[in-house]
Amino acid sequence: MLTKRIIPCLDIKNGRTVKGVNFLDLRDAGDPIELAKFYSENGAEELVFLDISATEERRKTLAELVLKVAETIDIPFTVGGGISSVEDVEILLNNGADKVSVNSSAVKNPQLINELASKFGSQCVVVAIDAKQIDGNWKVHLVGGKVPTDLDLFEWAKEVELRGAGEILFTSMDHDGTKNGFANEALAKLSTELNIPIIASGGAGTIQHFTDTFIEGKADAALAASVFHFKEITINNLKKELKTQEIPVRL
């Protein structure tokens, strides 16, 4: 059985790591380079770097900061925010990213997924999907969750897989920052209906939440931010506890 991955997420705004609740009320969480180094040395399988305001501000990802982070760590590194072309991805990969995450640009131009998978390989392409429940249905949102669409989470996820994405990073906007647990019902449906890895995001508050998302949500990886940034949970302690629950992790 494949080991489950624990992935800290650095949400970047104005060169600093930030964290909010339901995508709002951002507060400072520290220097991204220092945090990246700490996670790389303390048990993280991967690191995700999201330039959360790049799309809204209509600019490119902070490539220079990506380079500095990449020089600091020795674990796989996924970068997202403001990516809309093959050229954008080439710059980030040249600056040390191992994978890229596309979100709003993929919805606006789904063919971009095909182009990136063809050029760089599916293993390099992560499609991030931010969604929230509206009238009982999961609807995809764009531009850091600010722009709702009529796109159904599950239909979009299936299309993303068909177009060549290597994995999906699903963030429940309803759960984000609440520390009440992941959206396990939706995650389980995604994991059942798709054949590519699903990364759970939004809602981590306790070690039990990670256990639940791996067992009930059938997630392949779990991403979290504030519980790691503010030392509420350490990755090493989390992994030891998951091991006692017979969840396969790399210690």
Residue extents of the structural domains in the chain: 5-244
Instruction: Judge whether residue 1 has pLDDT over 80.
Output: no
Tokens 């991204």, residue? 32
Q: Which CATH class is domain 5-244?
A: alpha beta
Long-range contacts of 143-150 (CB under 8 A, 24+ apart): 143/55, 143/56, 143/104, 144/23, 144/52, 144/53, 144/55, 144/56, 145/22, 145/23, 145/173, 146/23, 146/56, 147/104, 149/107
Structure confidence at residue 81 (pLDDT): 87
Structure confidence at residue 166 (pLDDT): 98
Using a pLDDT cut of 70, give the percent of the chain over it.
Answer: 91
Q: How confident is the model at residue 171 (pLDDT cuts 50, 70, 90)?
A: very high
For the ranges 59-73, 104-118, 219-233, which has the lowest average pLDDT? 59-73
The structure's pTM equals 0.92
Supply the residues annotated as catalytic.
11, 130
CA angle 10, 46, 99 (to 5 degrees): 85
Average pLDDT over residues 195-206: 96
Instruction: Judge whether residue 20 has pLDDT over 90.
Output: no
**Rounded Cα gap, residues 242 and 251, in angstroms:** 10
Please state the length of the chain: 251
